[in-house]
A and B are shown apart, each in its own frame.
Chain A
Amino acid sequence: MFSFCTDPSILPDWQWMACYLTTGKHMSIYWSVLTVFLLLAITAPTALAFGFAGASAARSRIAPVSWLGRGYIAIVRGVPDIAFFLFFVIALDQAIEYLRHRAICPDWTEPVRQGNDFVVCAAAKMPLGNAPQWIHETYGFGLAVLTFAIVFGAFAANVLFGAMRAVPKAQLETAEAYGMTPRQTFWRVMVPQMWVYALPGLSNLWMVLIKATPLLFLLGVEDIVYWARELGGTKTSRFTEYPHGDWRMWYFLALLVFYLMFTRVSEIVLDRLMVRLTRGQATTGGEAQRKAAT
C-alpha cells in the first residue's frame, strides 16, 4: 500500500502497523464490513415486503390465504433461531436445484438422493458448474439474503399485523361511512396510519437484524467473523512478512466496538424518526408534542 512497506521487518512500530493493516488480506475484512452493510440494505426492505405480505395475508377474509399468512408467521417464529439458519440455507439450495431439475431434465430416471449424494442433472445446478466465481459468490450471498428476509419477514409480519389492528377502529368505520371500498380503506386509511404503531417494533427488529449479521458466518459466507479469526491467528515468519502472536482477542474487540457504534447510531436515528412520525398522531406521544409546541 505505502511506498515504505517493502521490508516490514525493519520498520518502526507505527509504520509497521500501517503496512500491516493495509495488506491485501486485510482488504478482505474491510470488504466484508461493506458486505454487512449491503446485507442490511437489501434484507431490511425485502423483509419488510415479506412482512407486509404476510400481515396482509393473515388479515385476509379468504380463509386459506389467512391460514397461509398466520402459518408463515407461526412456523418461522416457533423454530429456534440458528437451527433455522443452518437448516434453511441447505434446504433452500436443494429445493431450488430440485425444482430446476424437474423442469429442465424431465427424462432423468435416477433418484435425486443417491445415498449421500444429492444429484441433479448438470444443467439444473445452481449456479451452473462453469459459471464464473462472482456468480457463485452472488448466489451464495443471495441465498443468505433470502434466508434472512424470510426469517425476519415473519417477525416483521407479526409487528405489522399488530400495528394494523392498533389503528383506531373509528378511523376505519369513518372511511367506510364515506363509501370507501375495503381495498381503499386498507390502502388510504390503514396503511398510512399503521407505521407509527409499527415503528417501535420495527426499530427493535432492526436492532436484532444488525446483531444477527455475524450469523452470516454460519451460512458459510466468508464474513467479518471468518476474517477476524483468520487474520488474528498466530502467523509464522515463513509464510508472511508480518509475523505476530495470537491477536484474535483484539480483532474481536474491534468487532465488538464496531457493532456497539453501529447500534448506537441506529438508536439515535430511529429516535429522531419516531419524533417525526408521531407529529400530529392521535397518540400519547403526538399529544405531548402538541402540548410542548403551544
Chain B
Amino acid sequence: MKSILLTTAAMAMTAGMAMAQDVVRMGTEGAYPPYNFINDAGEVDGFERELGDELCARAELTCEWVTNEWDSIIPNLVSGNYDTIIAGMSITDERDEVIDFTQNYTLPDPSAYVAMSADVDLEGGVLAAQANTIQAAFIAETGATLVEFATPEETIAAVKNGEADAVLADKAFLTPIADEDADLMMLDKEELIGGGIGLGLRESDTELKEKFDAAITSMKEDGSLNALIAKWEIGDGF
C-alpha cells in the first residue's frame, strides 16, 4: 500500500452551514482532468469538484477535499482516511465487493485509444493503462501487452515517447489531450467497459450513501447535473 496516510492540498468548504456536523472527507486523485485535477492555485478543481460541492450543499454536509494516489485510493477509504471516493471511478462488480457505490452520476463513458498513428496493432501491440483501472483489467485479458503506470499522465507520456503503442482511458480524459497535441490522435475504435461513475463509500456507511443518492437524484431531476456534464464535456447527459 503505497500510501495509507495522506496529506493533501485540501481546503475546508465554506458551505456556511450553522449545523455542527461531522466533516465528510472527499477523496480524489487530482490528476485526471476534466474529472479532477489540481489547478494553478493548487486547489482541487474539475467536474467532480463542482459536482461534489453541489452534492454536499444539497445534502447539507460539510465537505473537505483530500487527494490520494489512485493506487491506494480504495485501501485508504476502507481504513477510514476519508469517507468517499469521488475520482472518476467506474462502478464494477470487483470494486463493489470491497466498497459501496452510489448511483452513477455519469452515463457509461466509452473508453478510447490514443496513439501516434492510426495503424496501431491493438490486438498484439503494447497498450498503456493506469494501474488498477477498468482499462488495465480489460487489456490484461486481451492478447495485447499491458504496461501499467501509477498516474494517468504517465500513460500519455509512454505513448508519446514510444514506450507503448497506444493508451486506453476514458474518452473525456483523452479528448482534450488529443485535441491539443499534434502528434497524438484518437482512434475510431472504442470500448464500452464499466457502468458509469459513482461515488465510492465504505460498505458500513449506508446513511451517507442515502444522502448522496438523494442529492444525485435531485441534481438529475432539475437538470443541473446535465449542465455540469456539458460544461466539462463528460460524454452525454442523462
Binding site for B on A (CB under 8 A): 23-25, 27-28, 86, 89-90, 93-94, 116-119, 125, 129-133, 136-137, 139-141, 143-144, 218-222, 229-230, 233-234, 236-243, 246, 248
B7 within 8 A of A: yes
- The answer for the CA separation of A229 and B9 in the assembled complex, in Å, is 15
Min CB distance B136 to A, Å, is: 19
Task: Count chain B residues whose beta carbon lies closer than 8 angstroms to a beta carbon of A.
Answer: 54
Contact of A136 among B81, B98, B160 (CB under 8 A): B81
Chain B 1-48 residues near chain A, CB threshold 8 A = 1-12, 22-23, 25, 30-31, 33-34, 37-43, 45-46
B163 within 8 A of A: no
Judging by beta carbons under 8 Å apart, are B4 and A93 in contact? yes
B156 within 8 A of A: yes
Per-residue interface assignment for chain B, residues 33 to 69, with 1 indicating a CB less than 8 Å from any chain A CB and 0 otherwise: 1100111111101100000000000000000101111
Contacts of B12 in A (CB 8 A): 132-133
- The answer for the CA separation of A244 and B126 in the assembled complex, in Å, is 26
- The answer for the CA separation of A23 and B39 in the assembled complex, in Å, is 9
Q: Which of B72-80, B84-92, B223-231 contacts A (4 or more CB under 8 A)?
A: B72-80
B121 within 8 A of A: no
B180 within 8 A of A: yes
Contact of B7 among A118, A140, A238 (CB under 8 A): A140
Contacts of B43 in A (CB 8 A): 24
Contact of B41 among A25, A129, A222, A239 (CB under 8 A): A25
- Interface SS of chain B: loop
| Given A133-B66, A136-B6, A219-B5, residue A118 in contact with residue B79 (CB < 8 A) | yes
Contacts of B161 in A (CB 8 A): 246
Judging by beta carbons under 8 Å apart, are B67 and A222 in contact? yes
Judging by beta carbons under 8 Å apart, are B4 and A119 in contact? no
Judging by beta carbons under 8 Å apart, are A25 and B66 in contact? no
Contact of A221 among B7, B40, B46, B181 (CB under 8 A): B7
Contact of B5 among A144, A242, A248 (CB under 8 A): A144
- The answer for the CA separation of A243 and B67 in the assembled complex, in Å, is 22
Contacts of A238 in B (CB 8 A): 33-34, 176, 180
- The answer for the CA separation of A118 and B10 in the assembled complex, in Å, is 25
Min CB distance B82 to A, Å, is: 9
Judging by beta carbons under 8 Å apart, are A136 and B7 in contact? yes
Judging by beta carbons under 8 Å apart, are A241 and B40 in contact? yes
- The answer for the CA separation of A222 and B40 in the assembled complex, in Å, is 17
Min CB distance A27 to B, Å, is: 6
Contacts of B213 in A (CB 8 A): none
| Given A24-B42, A117-B203, A222-B67, residue A236 in contact with residue B180 (CB < 8 A) | yes
- The answer for the CA separation of A233 and B8 in the assembled complex, in Å, is 19
Contacts of B31 in A (CB 8 A): 230, 233
Contacts of B98 in A (CB 8 A): 116
Judging by beta carbons under 8 Å apart, are B180 and A220 in contact? no
Contacts of A132 in B (CB 8 A): 12, 23, 64
